[in-house]
Structure 1
Amino acid sequence: MRKKLVILSGLIAVNSLSYASGYDWQTPTENNWHVVIANGEMNYADGTILGGNGTAAAPEPSVISADKGGVAKIISPGTLNLIVRPKPGMTHSWLYGVYAYSSTGGTTTSQTTELTFDTKLNVDMETSVSQNTGGESLGAALDITAHATDGTVPGAGAITKANFNDDVNIKVVNKTETTGSGWNPSSVEGISMSSFSGGRNEVVFNKKLDISGSVDTQNKHIYGIRYEDQEENGKGSLLLLKGDTLINVESLHGGRAWGVISQAAGGTQSFETEKGTALKIRTVQKGGQNYAEALKFNAFKMNEGVGSHRALLI
């Protein structure tokens, strides 16, 4: 069995990442650039292209949005391609490739949303929006969120599950201006996992995961994986990487570059890899504070909850 190799690469000089794809916001897509609401079993031919340009929100501007409280399985015999290209001149906050969200409130006291990809998946996201000192957000290729409310059992109220049964390839790029932006936490993210007020997420990548990206806007950040749980959430969230994982991200003009940041901010979370697989991380930051981190675990008290980690890298 192969030995796991963990490469934590900080400020190093290597060849620039290449992002030529041939996609733009006018590329023909099967969904005609409208949000696909995923529910039930959905079948796509090998090589299908689905697109999102930020002009339709259901409930968020994404290519695929899991139906809240539903169970969806997306199937293809080969590869499904998701592209995100904002329409020129539009104003947007976040853009997503895949958006899966569970929440409670009102008459909804519990909700579980489950989304499974039984296909190879490529997510190619490029954000392009004028920044300002107040800060406009950029985007996340995969966003998995669970938001419970007061009065629900922590970890049982809102649960979001995402399973990826084949290889996943993510490319995230920001191309905007390189001057004039204020310092704020706006970022582009490969994978965003977050829970609030007692929600929790369960995300499993069963095969290879490859995340690459760069951010070209001054002082904006890039994350390969951003994983955060706020407030008590029962048994906690899970991120399980069962195949080889490669993360390669660059901040080109002063923003921070994070390979993986895992924050238990009052909640509980697990970060696990399968025995015998490789985890390789490269982060590069150019200009500004020279701030690049490959892998960071951070647990702290927040909202009367005490954060805790279970990191199992074997």
Structure 2
Amino acid sequence: MQPDFRQPVFRFAPSPNGHLHLGHAYSALLNAEMARRSGGRFLLRIEDIDTTRCTEALVADCLEDLAWLGLAWEEPVLRQSAHFDRYRAAAARLEAEGLLYPCFCSRAEIAAAAGADPPRDPEGAPRYPGTCRQRPPDEIAALRAGGAAFALRLDSARAARRAGAPAWREQGGVPGATMPDIAAWGDVVLVRKEIPTSYHLAVVLDDAMQGVTHVVRGMDLFAQTAIHRLLQTLLGLPEPIYHHHPLIRDADGRKLAKSAASTPLRRLRGEGISPAAIRRHLGFEA
């Protein structure tokens, strides 16, 4: 299924669980520039499914930083936290088709089951060993009846048999990067224990609902596209064109990240650096 490419649609979709840094600025500016050059639309989406870490103050700061950069976007801005019912419905459909199963494992239990030198997913995390996929149905029923918390995982092998191995159209990327097979990810979580969705499920549903034709994002999400293309196929969603851009790195070569306390745009603003200087530094016209 193909989206309507007659008017390209781009989006920048930050998570307000910290302040934006230069890496976010680059991705936002690139999306806006590509939309401008193609005569397309530029959307902003707030990915705030984690309602504990994502606060209204951080959302406001995010919007302020982007406006300071000179960006303009269409209103209204989609807030993922307002669409949990839509995500639940999609998960229920996949579960009814036998493609999801409940996982009651804690992180410690997963680590113990994985062993000392477990297979790892494309991001380097231990791959889930499939413990709950093998639980007897009566045990699962008893755990659910007792109110045990659980996530919902994708049975990736069954899903791959259903959908095949979807490829994707990549216009960016890094030379030599290999598109991973879904098996490399194992049984990923599609519904978290404390949140009725996951990044993977929400992002493909939102891109489809908003008519996004071009997904332009950092190379750190390249491998995850295998999951997203599989979900798009399973749910009958349109296939956008992907463009994964190089990451902005610090002086030591590390990618900028909130978790690494990379310098936020707000601090650069406070130091008197202008939006024009930021644009020039990132390779855009001021």
TM-score range, shorter chain: under 0.3
Question: Which structure shows the bigger proportion of residues in helix conformation?
Answer: 2
**Normalising to structure 1: TM-score of the pair?**
0.23
**Normalising to structure 2: TM-score of the pair?**
0.24
Higher Rg: 2
Structure number with the bigger relative contact order (C-alpha 8 A, sep ≥ 6) is 2
Question: Which structure shows the bigger proportion of residues in strand conformation?
Answer: 1
